[in-house]
Amino acid sequence: MDLQDLRLLAPEIVFILFALILLLLDLMVKRKEVIALTGLVGVGISAYINYRLVKMGWLGGVLQDVFLFDGYSNFFKLIFYINLVLTILISLRYMKIEQTSYGEYYCLLFFATSGMMIMASAGDLIVLYLGLELMALSTYVLAGIIRRQRRSAEAAMKYFFLGAFSSAFLLYGIAIVYGLTGTTHLKGIASGLHELGLLNNPITLLGLVFFIIAFGFKIALVPFHMWAPDVYEGAPTSVTAFMSVGPKAAGFAVIGRVFFDAFAELDIQWSAILVPLAILTMATGSILALSQRNIKRMLAYSSIAHAGYAILGIITGTAEGLVSTMNYLMIYTFMNIGAFSVVILLRREDLLGEDLEDYAGLSKEHPVAAALMLIFMFSLTGIPPTAGFIAKFYVFMEAIYSGYVPLVIVAVLFSVVSAFFYLRVVMYMYMKEPGERVELSMSGGMGIALTITTIMVILLGIYPSLLLEFVRASVLG
Amino acid sequence: MLILIPLLPFIAFLINILFGRRFIRDRAHYVSIPAVVGSFILSVGAFMDVLDGRVINVNLYEWVISGSFVVPVGFLIDQLTAIMLIVVTSISSLIFIYSVGYMHGDRGYYRFFAYLSLFVFSMLVLVMSNNFLLLYFGWEAVGLCSYLLIGFWYERPSASNAGKKAFIVNRFGDFGFGLGIILIFLTFGSLEYLKVFSEAGSILGQKTSIFGLEVETITLICLLLFCGAVGKSAQIPLHVWLPDAMEGPTPVSALIHAATMVTAGVFMVARCNPLFNLSHTAMTTVAVVGGVTAIFAASIGLVQNDIKRIIAYSTVSQLGYMFLALGVGAYTAGIFHLYTHAYFKALLFLGSGSVIHALHDEMNIQRMGGLKRYMPITYWTFVIASLSISGIPGLAGFFSKDEILYRTFLGGGTGKILWVLGTIAALMTAFYSFRLIYLAFHGDFRGSEEQLRHVHESPPVMTIPLILLAIGAIAAGWVGIPSIFMEHGDRIGEFLAPVLGRPEAEGAHSTEVMVMTLSVIVSIIGILMAYIMYVKKTDLPERMGSALRPIYTMLYNKYWFDEFYHVTIVRPVLRASEKVFLGFFDGRIIEGVVNGVPDLIGSFSQRFRRIQTGLLSSYGLIMVLGAIIIIWAVIFSR
């Protein structure tokens, strides 16, 4: 083993170090702002190291390629960094309002993110599993961090049990594949399946199905999505924002990695399985969101539907398709956290601010907040010139090029359905009379987060090649 | 540098909209005026470049690229765009300055300048685009600004209704326009002007079938595009929104609803001349719609009493002239008239604004009179603009209008008929313009004592733009002097020839002199008639009104167009959607319409929702069932 290789692990090492520092810091300082700020510094350092490593061209694998430091993993790490920074920024004031200012909150965010980073880099199923569990265990706790709240605790419980259930599927899948090929190494699996003539073996397909179930759970693919609405609604809103982006992106990262590396030759098979699941996911997400009056729950179903659109790029089985999915995820990060930020803005000590009615007449009282929500809702619907349009446009185009025209028609139809519930929020804000006067829980961090997300949603809408070229470069080299 | 031309007003918009309410408030013009003046200076630079023969066509970047589907964002600065740039930025600059006086003290001062800046940005994008998609973006954006500014005083129900009307009427036209652009893409596989125009000839004879009806593709494209122009440029039958749009502040009427936005349709058709040239049917349609609108709107203008509405109908009529020119293939004449019209029409509106301002929002010319004494600058500039629009020799309007009538006359059999319409419309134009002047500025004041006491000339910040525009209304036409007066006098024609081509038919000099003399005589008759009726024999209008009661009523009611639409379109639609709208407001149908359109999805949603029981065991069960079904489907059903 070459110790030199370990420097490629530096971003993760620094990250975990900072997670521990945050935990210790909590014992020493009273002000939670200090912890959050230290956390931001940690993200900055880790991201900077990552950036330098890429700049110096030290891409490659560590320890016989069980850990891959490549463009693909770095792109996902960028999503995780952004996700974490935005979450910290919107959490500060919010956690105080929830009277849940625990230092371990930030520490857990860090551990969860480390897990995601490891998942994105995993070149071996065991490493992948470790990362996935690190992420999952941390998010279970995060979901239940408001201990005195019943719905928060309930969310954590459900998430934990069902998550454990899905982990079982994953382990079964790993075991089956190991049994067949004698390796857990992704590249090794690919060559093993090919050389041993196992491509048409039903047991191989069984293993593949188990992977789809386990990863489908993480990205809330129907019918493995049941946890999502309850958990998203019950968890603290900042955690919901975090969970609706990070673990989902990490799930997509491992799907891309495992399917495109280990099961590359079975692409027809996994596409065939994913097509009905994608349709079910878009349908369930869009249709069930219609009857929600709780905005968090509505956004939960919305995020289920978005997974259905994003998976179209994977279904194509082409590198360009993968690019379009990654492009989708980055844009989704900005617009979804943006939308959740506005939800948090409405949360006060004496008001949940989660009901649709709470948005009535918002444009009259708080025109800026309403305008931002309008932008995010437009983007989630996919109306140009917001980034959401670009995201959908590219996955749809890639699916069309790969011959999935009927699937795209279905997707467009469900996009139209989804316009009803997104634009309903807009209608409440702009066409209804305001109820009682509402103060916003504005803060500096929140202001920064909203500025970043808004600018990105608009900028990527009018200048999409900015991101797209970057994604292309990370995947295609 | 070129990108700054639209960008400066956009930055001004951002600054005003973001910081206007709290920090800038009544200093908004310090942000917006330098921005548009900056754009103007840069536009002059761009114009000089083009004059030197440097046509610029750059793609800034590709907005979306996916296989063969490429949509670039880029600018095309050629002769046509250069003229439009000068018109838009010069008039905007003057009107921005004027607004400082006119909008002084308004509650939404910063908002006004923000929207106006956004409008200038959108209009510049519209004229500078090098492809249909960006054109469409600018097209919709100016529509949005127009809507925002018509309804600027949204507390007045009439203003917000007028805004809605403009928006909805334009939907009809824009629907066709959008379809036209889609058809262009399907036919040519590109949206870039130069690519589309260079390949236009190759699709001649190609047919498209709509509902089993075979139509020439090129004709269909042109007619669909023209739909958009009819809406935006307020031609029959979609002209109804423009007079109502006068509910907006007067500078808005001058800039958007006279000088610039409404001419976007004319610009677009001229821009697409390589397409229109290929379709005789489309050209004839354009000419006929233009000619009919010219005389039709002018006739309504004869009897109106609202000062701004008279000028609004005059705008509709003059736009008709421009389309008439385009339709007979005299694109240069159309653009020439667009350019001169911008100056004298903006001047007329700003002048009427000056009057309205002095009389505290009085708009009825029957309650004015004798203002000449109190407002000499407004009066004289108004007279210059009216002489110009009437086509009195030497002034801007004379040259451009004459060119149009002459070209129409040369345009064959249909041309002769349209020429007669145009000449009658010219008579009417002269008449209503001077009717307005005699009623408002001559005779005795017929308003209240209170108003008379406060009548005053407007402050310099308003009168200086008037004077500058008056210079334009006199001199703007001197770039297009017919060759019978001066060799190479038609400089604008030569300048635009690379883009718009040259009219083919050339008539004898004697024909041109004949047409010209006739139109001058007609104009003078119009002015004289107005003089006799409103200065000499002031009881005559009354007597004529009762003698010709049916005609008068018809004109006064604008041919009942609004009533017709109300009965055939508005009321049925309202009745059909009454339930929906009522529900919208009491909140019940939100469940019904938004939650459950179609109802099916709503009930679906409710039913499936029950699966989400909240029970952990049932969630686990569903996961397992899902897994079993997939495994069964994948492995055992092979």
Q: What are phi and psi of A185, to 5 degrees?
A: -80, 130
pLDDT at A222: 85
pLDDT of residue A212: 94
Phi then psi for residue A149, to 5 deg, are: -95, 125
Q: Is B1 on the interface with A (CB under 8 A)?
A: no
Q: Looking at per-residue confidence, does A394 or B585 come out higher?
A: A394
Judge: A213–B623 Cβ closer than 8 Å, yes or no: yes
From chain B, pick out residues whose CB is under 8 angstroms from the CB of A464: 63-64
pLDDT exceeds cutoff 80 at A241: yes
- The tens digit of pLDDT for each residue in B295-305 reads 888 888 888 88
| Residue B120: pLDDT over 80 | yes
Task: Tell me, yes or no, whether A132 lies in a domain.
Answer: no
**Which DSSP helix (H) or strand (E) runs through A134?**
helix A125-143
The answer, yes or no, to whether residue B492 has pLDDT greater than 90, is no
**How is residue A8 written in tokens?**
């490629």
Sort out which chain A residues have CB atoms less than 8 A from B604's CB and list them. Answer: 287
Helix, strand and coil percent figures for chain A, each rounded to 5: 80, 5, 20
- Which of A229, A398, A464 is closest, CB to CB, to B612? A229
pLDDT at A322: 94
Length of chain B: 638
**Measured between alpha carbons, how far is B607 from B586 in angstroms, rounded to an integer?**
25
Whether A178 is in a domain gets the answer: no
> Which residue of B63, B616, B626 is in closest CB contact with A223?
B626
Query: B337 near B408, Cβ under 8 Å?
Result: no
CA distance B513 to chain A (A): 53
User: Does residue B589 carry a pLDDT above 70?
Assistant: no
Q: Look at phi and psi of residue A382 and say left if phi exceeds 0, alpha if psi is from -120 to 50, else beta.
A: left
As for the ipTM of the complex, it is 0.86
Residue A195 counted as domain residue = no
List pLDDT tens digits, range A247-274.
999 999 999 999 999 999 888 888 999 9
Token pair of A431 as six digits: 């066409």
Closest partner CB to B616 (pick from A158, A202, A217): A158
* C-beta atoms of B630 and A273 within 8 A: yes
State the greatest distance between any 2 C-alpha atoms of chain A, in Å, as a whole number.
Answer: 70
- Return the residue of A nearest to B612 by Cα: A226
Select from A291, A397, A424 the residue whose CB has the most chain B CBs within 10 Å, as the one to mutate to test that interface.
A291
What is the percent of chain B with per-residue pLDDT over 90, rounded to a whole number?
7
A317 belongs to a structural domain = yes
Give the model's confidence band at B515: pLDDT under 50 very low, under 70 low, under 90 confident, else very high. Answer: confident
Rounded to 5°, the CA angle B155-B161-B165 comes to 150
| A294 or B610: which leads in pLDDT | A294
- pLDDT mean across residues, chain B: 82
Distance CA A191, CA B111 (A): 66
Which stretch of DSSP H or E encloses residue A311? helix A295-315
Contacts of B391 (CB under 8 A, 6+ apart): B397, B398, B401, B402, B426, B429, B430, B519, B520, B523
Measured between alpha carbons, how far is B286 from B283 in angstroms, rounded to an integer?
5
Chain A to chain B, count of Cβ pairs less than 8 Å apart? Answer: 106
B597 CB neighbours in chain A (<8 A) are 420
- Tokens describing residue B46: 């761009």
Do B595 and A420 make contact, defined as CB atoms within 8 angstroms?
yes
Which residue's structure tokens are 């908002």? Answer: B111
What tokens appear for A251 in the block?
A: 């799930």
Scan for tokens 């492995």, then name that residue: B635
Bridging pattern class, strands A60-62 and B207-210: unpaired
Position B580 scores a pLDDT of 52
Residues of B in contact with A205 (CB under 8 A): 634-635
Can you tell me the mean pLDDT for B95-109? 85
B606 close contact with A: CB closer than 8 A? yes
pLDDT digits (tens, 9 = 90+) for A228-238: 998 998 899 99
Is A424 domain-assigned?
Answer: yes
Calpha distance B337→B331 (Å, rounded): 10
Q: How many domains does chain A have?
A: 1
Q: Are A386 and A456 in contact (CB under 8 A)?
A: no
Average pLDDT (B501-518) is: 78
Q: What is the DSSP letter of B456?
A: -
Contacts of A432 in chain B (CB under 8 A): 587
B600: closest chain A residue by CA: A287
The residue of chain A nearest to residue B610, with distances taken between CA atoms, is A288
Spell B116-148 as b/e; 16+ CB within 10 A means b. Answer: bbbbbbbbbbbbbbbbbbbbbbbbbbbbebbbb
DSSP summary character for residue A69: E
Mean pLDDT of B146-166: 80
When pLDDT is averaged across residues B447-454 and rounded to a whole number, the result is 78
Q: What would the pLDDT profile of B538-579 be if each residue is shown by its tens digit?
A: 777 777 777 777 777 777 777 777 777 777 766 666 666 555
Assess if residue A83 is contained within a domain.
Answer: no
Q: Quick check: B66 contacting A, CB < 8 Å?
A: yes
Between chains, do A162 and B620 touch, taking CB under 8 Å as contact? yes
Other residues' Cβ atoms within 10 Å of the Cβ of residue B582 = 11
Which of A208, A213, A227 faces B627 most closely, judged by CB atoms?
Answer: A213
The helix/strand/coil state of B103 is coil
Using a cut of 0.90, tell me whether the model's pTM lies above it. Answer: no
A333: left (phi over 0), alpha (psi -120 to 50) or beta: alpha
List the single residue in B66, B623, B627 with the smallest CB-CB distance to A394.
B66
Q: Do B606 and A464 touch (CB under 8 A)?
A: no
Supply B341's token pair. Answer: 């019209």
Question: Considering only CB atoms, which chain B residues are within 8 Å of A222?
Answer: 626
- Confidence band (pLDDT; 50, 70, 90) for B590? very low
The residue segments making up the domain with residue A431 are 266-477
- Model pLDDT, residue A341: 94
Check residue A44 and report its DSSP letter. Answer: H
pLDDT in tens, B306-333: 888 888 999 999 999 899 988 888 888 8
B338/A461 Cα distance (integer angstroms): 35
CB A388 within 8 A of CB A380: yes
What is the per-residue pLDDT for B585? 46
Helix (H, G, I), strand (E, B) or coil at A105: helix
Give B607 to chain A, closest Cα distance, Å: 9
Nearest to B616 among A161, A209, A385 (CB): A161
Closest C-alpha to A225, from A183, A288, A175: A288
Taking only residues 564 to 593 of chain B, the set having a beta carbon closer than 8 angstroms to any beta carbon of chain A reads 584, 587, 590
State pLDDT tens for residues A439-451. 788 888 899 999 9
Whether the pLDDT of residue A4 is over 70: the answer is: no
- Residue B587, number of CB atoms within 10 A of its CB: 12
State how far the Cα of A247 lies from the Cα of B282, in Å rounded to an integer: 58
Q: Within a 13 Å sphere around the CA of B385, how many CA atoms are in the beta-carbon half?
A: 30
Residue B417 tokens, joined: 């008929």
pLDDT in tens, A48-90: 999 998 888 878 888 888 899 999 999 999 999 999 999 999 9
- Contact call for A462 and B63, based on CB within 8 A: yes
B619 touches chain A (CB under 8 A): yes
Residues of B in contact with A284 (CB under 8 A): 608
**Contact B605/A287, CB-based, under 8 Å?**
yes
Find chain B residues with C-beta within 8 A of A426's C-beta.
none
Q: Copy the structure tokens of residue A259.
A: 């399917």
Contact (Cβ atoms closer than 8 angstroms) between residue A365 and residue A374: no
